[in-house]
């Protein structure tokens, strides 16, 4: 079934592999990076095909799902034109309804295929102790069901490595601590079990008698056209064609570039920066080239966009605070850029502002709040990009 992958390995002697997902793809819980399923899968390819160049793309971010994935897909994954993509978002889409999962997943698939029509995708369903318990009780887990429908609709290979892990735990006496570092993230043994299942799938689907030519992916009519979130999908997907005129479904702008002068500098004087904010020419947790930062309450700026919704690509850090915002002069709202993981590590994260807007031009006033979470060490706000659709 992975005939194009076989072709690349056989004829091109080169394979670019993308890994797109959350913390389980990133490797949280492993004792060292080489013990993750991602690293061990890459190593397997290198061992099996020693005469081929294997190029891995690490495009996973812990604690994030498809809501952020639809925006960072272009930059983090599709722009590198991967030949084979392993995708994993089931756990981090818990709580999202079926229709939104349909729209987001389908958008990501189409972005991958737009960048490389010959790309092949393997979707991985992972699990947690609690989710496995609910499945054992016969309960339906919405994200797994929704992703299964979309992947089946597009003819994409799927593997439920979560079920493989659950079967191992049951056979070994039911003790989840033998395979999970916590209730979600595998330890080295858990990742080894995940890797073995993936490798077995690859062995079954990498047949030497595959295609003698590359065949483009079959892209059916958008399934999300028949669901309630169709308008959002249309906007995000049409970005592939209309980004030049509307800037939809994109990460923008790169703040230390030319675009910074438009949003962060006063209209009357483009050489004077907005008081309280500064451009930082360092990466946002290794996920974005640069960001803007304010640490003092009261720092503010205005942002204008064309679309129907706006999100923020932010740094979640131990000193992160709350950000107030007001869209088109309406009611002032607030978003928090800190959570319980922040004292342990900084990470990039996507926050979508909840207002549902009519498609068009909108103006948002942002202001750093003097309020913050009880455990935060400060009121800092750090924004790498805006997410617009």
User: Quick one: DSSP state of residue 276?
Assistant: T
Tell how strand 84-88 and strand 333-336 pair up. Answer: unpaired
In the predicted structure, residue 255 carries a pLDDT above the cut 70: no
pLDDT confidence band for 387 (50 / 70 / 90)? confident
Residue 236 belongs to some domain of the structure: no
Q: So what's the pLDDT on residue 235?
A: 52
Residue 241 belongs to some domain of the structure: no
CB distance 18 to 85 below 8 Å: yes
CB distance 39 to 24 below 8 Å: no
Instruction: Give the Cα separation of 220 and 132 in Å (integer).
Output: 32
Instruction: Check whether residue 220 and residue 348 sit in a common domain.
Output: no
Domain boundary among 207, 226, 245: 226
Burial tier of 318 (Cβ tally within 10 Å: 0-12, 13-18, 19+): middle
- Sequence-ordered list of residues with C-beta below 8 angstroms from that of 70, at least 6 positions apart, any chain: 104, 107, 108, 111, 236, 249, 389
Q: What is the mean pLDDT of the chain?
A: 87
Categorise residue 95: left if φ over 0, alpha if ψ from -120 to 50, beta otherwise. left
Q: So what's the pLDDT on residue 275?
A: 67
Instruction: Check whether residue 67 and residue 15 sit in a common domain.
Output: yes
Instruction: Give the Cα separation of 94 and 85 in Å (integer).
Output: 22
- Region 119-147: mean pLDDT is 95
Which residue carries 């189409």 as its tokens? 110
- Region 38-59: mean pLDDT is 98
Q: So what's the pLDDT on residue 223?
A: 81
In the predicted structure, residue 212 carries a pLDDT above the cut 90: no
Tens of pLDDT, residue by residue over 354-366, are 777 888 899 999 9
Instruction: Check whether residue 153 and residue 284 sit in a common domain.
Output: no
- Sequence-ordered list of residues with C-beta below 8 angstroms from that of 272, at least 6 positions apart, any chain: 265, 266
Which residue carries 């028949």 as its tokens? 226
Instruction: Check whether residue 269 and residue 200 sit in a common domain.
Output: no
SS3 229: coil
In the predicted structure, residue 244 carries a pLDDT above the cut 60: no
In the predicted structure, residue 324 carries a pLDDT above the cut 90: yes
In the predicted structure, residue 237 carries a pLDDT above the cut 60: no
SS3 72: helix
Q: How far apart are the first and last CA of the chain?
A: 34
Instruction: Check whether residue 219 and residue 133 sit in a common domain.
Output: yes
Tell how strand 84-88 and strand 120-125 pair up. Answer: parallel
In the predicted structure, residue 385 carries a pLDDT above the cut 60: yes
CB distance 90 to 126 below 8 Å: yes
Instruction: Check whether residue 296 and residue 207 sit in a common domain.
Output: no
Instruction: Check whether residue 214 and residue 272 sit in a common domain.
Output: no
Show the domain range for 264: 253-388
Domain boundary among 226, 244, 274: 226
Higher pLDDT, 325 or 306: 325
Instruction: Check whether residue 153 and residue 23 sit in a common domain.
Output: yes
Instruction: Check whether residue 156 and residue 204 sit in a common domain.
Output: yes
Residue 245 belongs to some domain of the structure: no
Instruction: Check whether residue 130 and residue 273 sit in a common domain.
Output: no
- Region 294-300: mean pLDDT is 94
CB distance 72 to 389 below 8 Å: no
Residue 248 belongs to some domain of the structure: no
pLDDT confidence band for 182 (50 / 70 / 90)? very high
Residue 242 belongs to some domain of the structure: no
Total domains, the chain? 2
pTM confidence score: 0.83
Q: For residue 314, which phi and psi values (nearest 5 degrees)? A: -120, 170
Instruction: Check whether residue 115 and residue 180 sit in a common domain.
Output: yes
In the predicted structure, residue 271 carries a pLDDT above the cut 60: no
Domain boundary among 191, 226, 261: 226
Q: So what's the pLDDT on residue 232?
A: 52
Residue 243 belongs to some domain of the structure: no
Higher pLDDT, 252 or 41: 41
Instruction: Give the Cα separation of 237 and 171 in Å (integer).
Output: 44
Instruction: Check whether residue 377 and residue 258 sit in a common domain.
Output: yes
Residue 231 belongs to some domain of the structure: no
Residue 81 belongs to some domain of the structure: yes
In the predicted structure, residue 243 carries a pLDDT above the cut 80: no
Give me the CATH number covering residue 38: 3.40.50.1110
Give me the CATH number covering residue 265: 2.60.120.260
Tell how strand 14-21 and strand 53-58 pair up. Answer: parallel
Tens of pLDDT, residue by residue over 285-294, are 988 888 899 9
């Amino acid at each position: 079934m992975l005939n194009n992958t076989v072709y690349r390995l056989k004829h091109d002697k080169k394979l670019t592999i993308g890994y797109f997902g959350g913390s389980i793809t990133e490797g949280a819980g492993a004792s060292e990076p080489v013990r993750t399923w991602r690293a061990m899968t890459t190593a397997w390819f290198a061992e099996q095909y020693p005469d081929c160049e294997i190029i891995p793309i690490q495009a996973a971010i812990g604690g994030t799902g498809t809501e952020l994935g639809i925006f960072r897909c272009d930059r983090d994954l599709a722009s590198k034109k991967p030949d084979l993509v392993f995708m994993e978002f089931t756990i981090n889409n818990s709580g999202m309804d079926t229709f939104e999962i349909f729209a987001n997943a389908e958008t990501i698939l189409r972005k991958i295929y737009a960048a490389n029509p010959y790309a092949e995708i393997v979707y991985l369903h992972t699990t947690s102790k609690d989710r496995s318990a609910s499945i054992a009780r016969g309960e339906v887990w919405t994200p797994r069901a929704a992703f299964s429908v979309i992947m089946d609709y597009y003819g994409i290979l799927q593997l439920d490595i979560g079920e493989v892990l659950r079967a191992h735990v049951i056979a070994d006496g039911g003790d989840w601590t033998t395979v999970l570092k916590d209730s979600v993230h595998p330890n080295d043994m858990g990742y080894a079990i995940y890797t073995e299942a993936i490798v077995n799938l690859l062995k079954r689907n990498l047949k030497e008698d595959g295609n003698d030519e590359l065949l483009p992916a079959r892209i059916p009519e958008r399934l999300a056209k028949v669901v309630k979130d169709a308008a959002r999908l249309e906007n995000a997907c049409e970005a592939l064609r209309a980004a030049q005129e509307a800037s939809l479904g994109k990460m923008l702008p790169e703040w230390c570039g030319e675009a910074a002068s438009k949003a962060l500098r006063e209209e009357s004087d483009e050489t004077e920066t907005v008081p309280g904010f500064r451009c930082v020419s360092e990466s946002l947790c290794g996920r974005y080239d640069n960001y803007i930062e304010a640490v003092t309450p009261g720092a503010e700026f205005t942002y204008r966009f064309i679309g129907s919704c706006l999100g923020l690509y932010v740094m979640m850090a131990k000193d992160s605070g709350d950000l107030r915002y007001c869209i088109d002069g309406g009611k002032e709202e607030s978003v928090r850029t800190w959570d319980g993981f922040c004292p342990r590590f900084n990470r990039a994260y996507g926050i979508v502002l909840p207002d549902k807007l009519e498609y068009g031009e909108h103006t948002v006033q942002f202001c750093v709040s003097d309020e913050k979470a009880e455990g935060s060490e400060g009121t800092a706000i750090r924004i790498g990009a805006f997410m617009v659709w």
